[in-house]
């Protein structure tokens, strides 16, 4: 089940803000690691920021195979 558009947009806003990317360059189907250009430690920091912003816990094993913002939003929707 796809995540609500509002959740996807909030996720894209948060990613653009924290990692200094122009919001318009981030799209739901973009590869989130490539488009943010973040390393493994920054990826873990992103996880902490997402948990804080969406008030949910996201165990790493839920993220296996997740590469896009839309995919990540779907996981968050199921957890939040």
| 21, two tokens | 């990317």
Binding string, residues 3-42; x marks residues near other proteins by CB under 8 A:
------------------------------x----xxxxx
The residue from 51, 75, 77, 79 that contacts other proteins (CB under 8 A) is 51
Short-list 4, 18, 3, CA closest to 50: 18
Helix orientation angle between 40-54 and 69-79, rounded to the nearest 10 degrees: 40
Query: Shortest gap between Cβ of 66 and other proteins (angstroms)?
Result: 9
Place of tokens 């590469």: 67
Residues that bind other proteins (CB under 8 A): 33, 38-45, 47-48, 51-52, 57, 59-61, 63-64
């Amino acid at each position: 089940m796809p995540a609500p558009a509002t959740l996807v947009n909030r996720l894209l806003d948060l990613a653009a803000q924290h990692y200094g990317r122009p919001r318009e360059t981030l799209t739901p189907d973009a590869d989130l690691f490539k488009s943010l250009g973040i390393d493994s430690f920054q990826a873990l920091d992103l996880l902490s920021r997402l948990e804080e912003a969406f008030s949910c816990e996201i165990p790493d094993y839920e993220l296996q195979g997740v590469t896009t913002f839309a995919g990540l939003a779907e996981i968050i929707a199921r957890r939040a």
